Structure 1
Amino acid sequence: MKGMLRKLNTNTANSVIQASRLFAQALKKLYQPDCITRCQNRGIFSELSHFHMHAVPRYKHQSFADFYLDIYHNSHLQRRLAETKENLKETIKKIEKEDLWPNTL
């Protein structure tokens, strides 16, 4: 679907950005990255028929290309996916409970 981001209504688009901000804060708390790269592919680079966004924690001496290579070649990372999901859910709950959201972004 071409132009997926353009087709989001204003409320949905704003919610996507706010969710991205909350998710980035959780990533920062959990993994202390040097930065977070967020991107959304579309056009010939999107194999999916729905909107989605990547949020990639990055470290100073890590190539961005590693993000795309590591997931397929490191079965230990794939096994930790459920654990990562639970850690992120708990961290997001804490951020919201501690009233750190959205004031600290």
Structure 2
Amino acid sequence: MECLGCRIANGIEPNLNIVFENELITCVLDIAPFNEGHTLILPKKHYWDVDEMDPETAHAVMDASQKMSALLKGLYKPDGVRICADGGKFNDLKHYHMHVVPRYEGDGFTWSEPLHPDGAENRLSETGAKIRKALGEQ
């Protein structure tokens, strides 16, 4: 297997800290955690982006995110939990993975403002209409 994400998800990589798995997904501790308990959820089958996943795998990922979020809240008492995934060129692993990160006030993990804002907030009605139209065409 060439894909690092596939090797992690299928338990082939050495020194993994797998915390949960089933036939579709694997949850493993991030090797560079933002906070203790930072977990990655990876499908065992190779996918690049969320929109490529079959519904059964997508549900397994979301179910695992709920399970891990509740578990991490109980264990570490964070102020909140961030659940996120990057796609396309921002997917540094080249294999779909979802982060579940316990968050604490003042931990420095921020959602920043865009470097080059394009005024999207002024086009919400048009954007909504465009998306609703596209959804109706599917």
Specify every segment of 5 or more residues in structure 2 that has no aligned partner in the other structure, as ranges.
1-45, 111-138
Task: Choose from 92, 111, 132 the match for 1:47.
Answer: 92
Q: Aligned partner of 2:103: which letter?
A: R
Residue 60 (structure 2) pairs with residue 15 (structure 1): yes
Larger Rg: 2
Counterpart of 1:29?
74
Higher-strand-fraction structure? 2
Could you tell me whether the CA contact under 8 Å between 1:2 and 1:43 is conserved in 2?
no
Structure 2 residue aligned with 1:60, among 89, 94, 105? Answer: 105
TM-score normalised per structure 1: 0.56
Give CA deviations for 1:5-33 in whole Å, capped at 9, x if unaligned. 01111111011000000001111011000
Instruction: Report the 3-state secondary structure (helix = DSSP H, G, I; strand = E; otherwise coil) of the residue aligned with 2:89.
Output: helix
- Matches for 1:64-75 after TM superposition, within 5 Å: 64=109
Shift of 1:63: 1.4
Structure 1 gap ranges (5+): 66-105
State the structure with bigger RCO (CA 8 A, min sep 6), 1 or 2. Answer: 1
* Distance (Å, rounded) in 1 between the aligned partners of 2:90 and 2:56: 26
SS in 2 for 1:57: strand
**Per residue, is there more helix in 1 or in 2?**
1
Superposed CA RMSD in Å reads: 2.0
Shift of the alpha carbon at 1:50?
1.3
Q: Percent identity?
A: 37
**Any conservation in 1 of the 2:81–2:103 contact (CA below 8 Å)?**
yes
CA positional deviation for 1:3 = 5.8
- Following superposition, which runs of at least 4 residues in structure 1 exceed 4 angstroms of deviation? none
Question: TM-score, normalized by length of structure 2?
Answer: 0.43
Please identify, of 26-35 and 56-65, the stretch whose mean Cα deviation from structure 2 is larger. Answer: 56-65
Partners of 2:95 and 2:86 in 1: how far apart?
A: 11
